[in-house]
Amino acid sequence: MTEQELKNLLKAVTPADEAARAAAHAHWASLAKPLGGLGRLETMVEDAAALMGNPAPDFTRRAVLVLCADNGVVAQGVSQTDATVTRAVLENLTLRRTSVCRMAAAAHCAVVPVDMGIAGAPVPGAVDCRVAPGTADFTHGPAMTRAEALQAIAAGIALVQAQKRSGVQLLATGEMGIGNTTTSSAVASVLLRRPPAALTGRGAGLSDEGLQRKIAAIERGIAVNSPDAADPLGVLAALGGFDIAGLCGVFLGGALESIPIVMDGFISGVAALCAVRLCPAAAKAVFASHASSEPGAQLVLEALGKKALITADLHLGEGTGAVASLPLWDMAMAVYNGCYSFTEGGIAPYTPQC
């Protein structure tokens, strides 16, 4: 896919269907409960109805896409562990043994491990979307070429299209890649025009010294590459990872295919931010799940204009926060589809008082 082809494709993203949103809102208002009593659970269903153009959405079939990639910046000592852990976790994802796999089983959600580009041979059981065996160290130059970033974005869009063909109606996002809180903080720093120290956390548990190395590496990467915040594809190529670029494509694919995409934490939030900077109308497909404890997570949510359903200090990754929110979708739809109406209950409807 070329840059022009991507631009042409994204022209097909239409505005949200406000008639479907209004119909969903009217249905909530007809149910025998206080108006807006379920808060964000109500607006979440209304937003999904507007995205899908259907005031009676169904989210029975769902999956979590877990995009895995290695990051060259790990060479700068920005993580407790080396890149071999990315492969180990991907292998265990294919065996359905990781944290998100156990949570997904409880939430009746399929798990789709995806290899976006890790070192070594392909992992059996993972969807092969390999762009390259990991990115370059961005402290010496771009993490990837613009063509590689476009390839990863195209792969993310294709993943959504494949899931839609298989009947999936709701997608959660996850990722795995040692060093990817570093790449996410770097991309967010540029796009939000904030200093790296304001957005960078300890990831999987760095010491004070390790955190300073991480911040310094991001500062060097930005200085070396001089990315332009007005060029989100360039920022992604200079400082991002194949997982973030692929997830950017997943959010764009959700907007193109009218499938809700549930954001996980900081890393997938940065990917969503890239998608919305590339195509503002794609915001309609982005659904927040939780407020990650990573320092930059709330800033990304604010930039996207999204509010989390869950605040539990989660920062595990893999899509665990996104999957943790899925039972809330089920409970919202249980009320939406099954609660009795004011008319059925012989109760005078509530009316707005202000």
Active-site annotation, residues: 318
10 to each of 14, 188, 242, 282, 334, how far by Cα in Å?
9, 22, 20, 9, 34
Q: Please give the sequence-ordered ranges of beta strands (E in DSSP) within the chain, or none if there are none.
A: 62-69, 110-117, 127-128, 170-176, 261-262, 286-287
Would you say 253 and 277 are in contact if contact means Cβ atoms under 8 Å apart? no
Q: Of 179, 253, 256, 260, whose CA–CA distance to 218 is shortest?
A: 179
Phi first, then psi, for residue 150 (nearest 5°) are -65, -40
Q: At what angle do helices 180-191 and 266-278 cross, to 10 degrees?
A: 40
Here the tokens at position 299 are 């800033």
Q: Of 256, 242, 247, whose CA–CA distance to 274 is shortest?
A: 247
Q: How far apart are CA 217 and CA 203, in angstroms?
A: 14
Give me the helices (H) in 18-59, please.
Answer: 18-30, 40-52
